[in-house]
Amino acid sequence: MYTQDPYFWRAGAIATVIFMCVVLAALTIDTLRQITPGGARVPAYDVINSAVTYQYDASRGEYAPKIGGEELIFGHKYSADEATALLARGKLVIQSRACIDCHTFFGNGAYYAPDLTRAWMDPVWARYAGPKRADRLAKFLMNPLRLGSRPMPNLHIQRDEAEAAVAYLKWMSAVDSNGFPDRFGAPGAQ
């Protein structure tokens, strides 16, 4: 019987794998197009010059980032090129200190410390409104305070590195991640 012939199953395996690879390739092209900075889902890097909040969107039934008017960080308005260079450095800070091996980004990483997706707008910094928040966050990164029972180590982050990392967190908080995390900073939540 043909089902007892391994070559029958081999043909099925090859056809299945080729089909799935073609579908994945097509979806990859479309996804990469949609997550290029400057699109509707992933903002341009100079979004760091604007206010970013996370609000409930009734039409979508979930929370989504909202870009507001101008709100500068570190007293500087970054051009597109400056913002790109600053965020590239911010990403290097995050990688060089292996932040992802304690924290999570969009929920990916280790699970030993809080998720950083919306860390920029965390209520813990609420009393530091506007430009003050960036400065406060940068100081925290350089000399971490003991928040709760699980302290953050001092990773010898320099001022310029801290500013780049804070700018990165602000940009990341503006990425549309389909409602994740749910109810972040919502009334009644912590």
Partner 1 sequence: MYRAQRLGLKYLTASTVMFGAMIVFGLLASIYYVRPGFMLNTFNFSTAKIVHIDGLVIWLLMGFIGAIYWFLPQELDREVEGIGLAEVLFWVFCAAVAVVVVVFIFVQYGAANEWSMWFINQGRKYVEAPRWAAMGIAAVAGVFAYNVIATTVVARKSTGILTVLIADLVPLVLLYFDAFPEMTNMSQDLFWWWWLVHLWVEATWEVLIGCIMAWTLIHLVGASRRVVESWLYVEVALVLGTGILGLGHHYFWIGTPRYWFAIGGFFSALEPLPLLGMVVHAVYDAGERHLQAANRPAFYWTLAEAFGNFIGAGVWGFMMTLPQINLYSHGTQWTASHGHLAFWGAYGCGVIAVLYLAIAQARGCERLDGTAWKWSFALLNTGMVGMSGALLVAGIDQAFFERAIGGSTWNAYLSMEGRPWFNESMWARLAFGLIFACGFAVLVYDLIAIPKRREAGAREEATAAAGS
Binding residues for partner 1 restricted to 99-118, rule: CB under 8 A: 99-102, 104-115, 118
Strands 50-57 and 108-109: what pairing?
Answer: unpaired
Q: How far is the CB of 64 from partner 1 (least distance, A)?
A: 12
Pick the closer one to partner 1 by CB: 25 or 69: 25
Size of the site for partner 1 (CB under 8 A): 84
Pick the closer one to partner 1 by CB: 7 or 69: 7
Q: How far is the CB of 171 from partner 1 (least distance, A)?
A: 9
Pick the closer one to partner 1 by CB: 30 or 69: 30
Neighbours of 174 (CB within 10 A): 23
Binding mask 121-150 for partner 1 (x = CB under 8 A): -xxx----------------------xxxx
Stretch that binds partner 1, among 73-81, 128-136, 157-165 (CB under 8 A): 157-165
Pick the closer one to partner 1 by CB: 91 or 139: 91
Distance between CA atoms of residues 57 and 46, nearest Å: 24
The DSSP element (H or E) to which 99 belongs, if any, is: none
Residues 47-106 that bind partner 1 (CB under 8 A): 84, 87-102, 104-106
Pick the closer one to partner 1 by CB: 52 or 115: 115
The closest alpha carbon to 65, from 121, 106, 116, belongs to 121
Q: How far is the CB of 121 from partner 1 (least distance, A)?
A: 9
Residue pair 107/170 in contact by the 8 Å Cβ criterion: no
Q: List, in order, residues 6 or more apart from 30 with CB less than 8 Å away.
A: none
Give me 26's structure tokens: 């097509």
Check whether the bond before 181 is cis (ω within 30° of 0): yes
Q: How far is the CB of 71 from partner 1 (least distance, A)?
A: 20
Helix, strand, coil shares of the chain as percentages rounded to 5? 45, 15, 40
Does 17 participate in binding partner 1 (rule CB under 8 A)? yes
